[in-house]
Amino acid sequence: MKIERINTTPRWSDATIYNGIAHFVEIAADEDADIVGQIKQVFEQADQTLALIGSNNSRLLSVTIYLKELQYLQLFNDMWEAWLPEGSAPSRACLKAELVDPRLLVEITFIAAVIE
């Protein structure tokens, strides 16, 4: 079975799709944005990735959320719950972690089901 990939560079693909399952990771394209801006971008970028693969944010299976500072947690949770359609929240882990660029405040890895 063929692996589909979105925007493949030598370093990563924006998403891989195989057997109805997509893996993708989002960090804010504008790394200089504040925490609200970065969270908003991560969700918008995830919506775009999901649209590209024929899915949407009601089809998330699992996420791991990395926050640079735990003081962002309440804000993140509020924006997260506003973003997700009712009754569709995925399995979720959330950790404090240092990301590869010091300006990055949030990173999320997603596993999602494609619509079939």
Nearer to a second copy, 37 or 85 (CB): 85
Please, what is the minimum distance in Å from the beta carbon of residue 82 to a second copy?
Answer: 9
Long-range (24+ apart) CB contacts under 8 A made by 73-77 are: 75/35, 75/36, 75/39, 76/35, 76/39, 76/106
- The site for a second copy (CB under 8 A) is made up of 1, 3, 5, 8-16, 18-21, 23-25, 59-62, 64, 66, 70, 73, 77, 80-81, 84, 86-100, 107, 109, 111, 113, 116
One-letter amino acid identity for 2? Answer: K
Rg (CA), the chain: 14
Please, what is the minimum distance in Å from the beta carbon of residue 111 to a second copy?
Answer: 7
Please, what is the minimum distance in Å from the beta carbon of residue 6 to a second copy?
Answer: 9
The structure tokens listed for 23 are 């893996």
